[in-house]
Amino acid sequence: MTSVSIRAAAQVLRPPEDGLPYLRHDRAGELTLEPGDVLLEDGRIAGFEAGDADLVVDAAGCAVVPGFVDCHTHLPFAGWRAQEYERKVTGVPYQEIARAGGGIASSARSLAESSDEDVLAQAETLARELLQHGTTAFEGKTGYGLSRAGEARAARLGRELAARVVQPMRLTGLFAHAVPPGTTADAWMDEAETLARECDVDALDIFVESVAFDNEHLARMGAIARDTGRALRAHVEQFAAHRSVPVALEWGARSVDHLSCLHPDDVAPLAASDCAAVLLPGAELLGGEHTPPARELADAGAIGALATDLNPGTSPVASMPVIIGLGVRRYGWSVREALLAATLNAAWVLGWSHELGSLESGKRADVLLLDGPAEHVPYRFGHNPVAVAFSAGEPVWVRPDQAWRLGHEKPLDPASAAAGRRRVP
Ligand code: NIG
Ligand code: FE
């Protein structure tokens, strides 16, 4: 298929101007949601008029928005940890679960015991679930390898996953996630550095927490990232305030993620920087974490982003619409603020905002048709509003009850999904 005409939508989400690498949250109100048409040609957004096309889409009553960009997941991983979740909610402390062999160590065991094919099959299924919930680009991480060979394998599997899925996928080396048994955090950082230098990854990440790594290790990862030309990302201030944000900013981090316990003095410097605040309300809800000062961050002009944190421990959540609903409720964010955080600003985190994240002529045609107005996404909490997902101009997911909008009465030819697998520069 070479062209698609999406006609007479009730709302089309547009940025206030073209070419923005991100939009600070104090400007989210400038996003427009006006009625209109969208034309897709040769995998790109061609314009905002109704034109002749191979496929005509009836968008009456619908919102058309950019595909969601899930900028923080832990794909690929092996298995789940549902029993651990039950223990957690019934009052067993995390430390006790970890002592009993749970937590990251448990997922590391599952990964080690699973074949490459089993790991990739689970991750591919989840990538399909992401797509059906509107995620047209995502990030994955290493981090469950827990040994030099295990992490190198996780990086290789991450790239194999990227080659198999419809969505463009970035891979982050979370080589400093947990301290493997029998070593120390200091000693493991030497291994993490070797992995960072040798593995094919797009960005580097580290988990700063009393049970993992500290701010000195974060600074060291910052130096490695700078030296190897990778973006620095960091899991910080999740369970307690360690004042990691000033360190991350000093090292030019692309994002700081979690921030449930962000220190009030760190709000203004973070908001003034080009470093995104990636908030993960799924992990907050399911882990009973504190709520970050998200309203303050938005008002101060931070580059806010939302993501699922999809992982078997803290957030087995694949739905960006659910995350948007949680963000609006927990943070007191407007619909525009939450959609911005799930699209353009999330694309910025992945270094892809020149190609993805907003409806602009010339950008890759990763576009969602929602089954109602944008305001329904957080409001109808738990409902999946994605009627049609386009990847590079191809309808790669059509909800069966919405197929009439495309004139399709039967499921799409799977070959059209393959056509969406075009690389993003
Ligand atoms: O983002 N905080 C550290 N890492 C993950 C959870 C890892 C796990 O429990 O499996 C997170 O929440
Ligand atoms: Fe995470």
125-162: pLDDT as tens digits: 999 999 999 999 999 999 999 999 999 999 999 999 99
Say whether both 150 and 260 belong to one domain: yes
192-218: pLDDT as tens digits: 999 999 999 999 999 999 989 999 999
Say whether both 105 and 14 belong to one domain: no
Say whether both 93 and 208 belong to one domain: yes
Q: Which residues does residue 47 pair with via DSSP β-bridges, in sequence order?
A: 39
Query: Where in the sequence is the domain holding 387, given as residue range(s)?
Result: 3-68+358-419
The verdict on residue 140 lying in a domain is yes
The verdict on residue 425 lying in a domain is no
As a whole number of Å, the CA-based R_g of the chain is: 21
d(CA 367, ligand 1 centre) in Å: 30
d(CA 72, ligand 2 centre) in Å: 6
Say whether both 293 and 158 belong to one domain: yes
Where does a domain end: 308, 331, 349? 349
Which CATH number does the domain housing residue 367 bear?
A: 2.30.40.10
The verdict on residue 277 lying in a domain is yes
- Please state the separation of Cα 301 from the chain's center in Å: 21
pLDDT band at 1 (very low <50, low <70, confident <90, very high): confident
311 C-beta closer than 6 A to ligand 1? yes
- Nearest-CA residue for atom 8 of ligand 1: 313
Distances (CA, A) of 304 to 73, 198, 347, 348: 17, 31, 11, 10
71-95: pLDDT as tens digits: 999 999 999 999 999 999 999 987 7
Say whether both 62 and 154 belong to one domain: no
The verdict on residue 424 lying in a domain is no
Say whether both 258 and 316 belong to one domain: yes
Which CATH number does the domain housing residue 186 bear?
A: 3.20.20.140
Check whether 254 has a pLDDT greater than 50.
Answer: yes
Check whether 424 has a pLDDT greater than 90.
Answer: no
Say whether both 240 and 385 belong to one domain: no
- Distance, in Å, from the CA atom of 402 to the CA atom of 311, rounded to the nearest integer, reads 30
182-193: pLDDT as tens digits: 999 999 999 999
Say whether both 279 and 334 belong to one domain: yes
Say whether both 222 and 338 belong to one domain: yes
The mean pLDDT value for 353-374 works out to 98
304-325: pLDDT as tens digits: 999 999 999 999 999 999 999 9
Cα angle 157-160-161, degrees, rounded to a multiple of 5? 85
Q: What pTM was computed for the model? A: 0.96
Residue 102 corresponds to which tokens in the numbers above?
Answer: 């749970």
Say whether both 44 and 112 belong to one domain: no
Say whether both 48 and 76 belong to one domain: no
Say whether both 100 and 222 belong to one domain: yes
Check whether 6 has a pLDDT greater than 70.
Answer: yes
d(CA 309, ligand 2 centre) in Å: 5
- Distance, in Å, from the CA atom of 140 to the CA atom of 144, rounded to the nearest integer, reads 12
In this prediction, residue 425 carries a pLDDT of 64
Please state the domain count of the chain. 2
Residue 378 corresponds to which tokens in the numbers above?
Answer: 């957080």
Where does a domain end: 349, 374, 408? 349
pLDDT band at 408 (very low <50, low <70, confident <90, very high): very low
Judged by its nearest atom, the ligand closest to the C-alpha of residue 104 is: 1
Q: What is the mean pLDDT of the chain?
A: 95
| DSSP class of 111 | H
The verdict on residue 297 lying in a domain is yes
pLDDT band at 411 (very low <50, low <70, confident <90, very high): very low
Where does a domain end: 349, 370, 388? 349
Residue 114 corresponds to which tokens in the numbers above?
Answer: 């699973």
From the alpha carbon of 144, which atom of ligand 1 is closest? Answer: 10
92-134: pLDDT as tens digits: 987 788 788 899 999 999 999 999 999 999 999 999 999 999 9
